[in-house]
Amino acid sequence: MICEIAQLEVMQGKEAEFKSAIDAAIPLFKRARGCQGLRVMRSQEFPSRYWLIVDWISTEDHTVHFRTSPDHAEWHRLVRPFFSERPKVEHAEVIAESIAP
């Protein structure tokens, strides 16, 4: 499985609106080809920083199929107004995973 790891910097004071946009955007990911789930987190050390982690079956599910879809345009329409800088996005392969205990 491949994870998309996106570091999102949000304009100060726009965090609540950004959260509403995220809630509206979740169905876009849930119905995307190859999407296995997603998680959005807010940094404690940098409260205007958010992390989006999306599990995809393959990298191409994100970089090809999702990015060329109308749902991706809608995702951008919803969240881009709140970014203070360009998101840092990379992909990573899960090499170990464990549920405790």
Residues at the interface with a copy of itself (CB under 8 A): 2-3, 5, 19, 22-23, 26, 29-32, 35-46, 49-51, 53, 55, 59, 90-101
Instruction: For a copy of itself, give the closer residue by CB, 50 or 75.
Output: 50
Which conformational region is residue 6 in: left (phi greater than 0), alpha (psi within -120 to 50 degrees), or beta?
Answer: beta
* CA atoms within 13 A of residue 25's CA, in its CB half-sphere: 22
Task: Please state the closest distance from residue 71 (CB atom) to a copy of itself, in A.
Answer: 13
Instruction: For a copy of itself, give the closer residue by CB, 43 or 68.
Output: 43
Residues 6+ apart with CB under 8 A from 7: 49, 50, 51, 87, 88, 89
d(CA 79, CA 76): 5
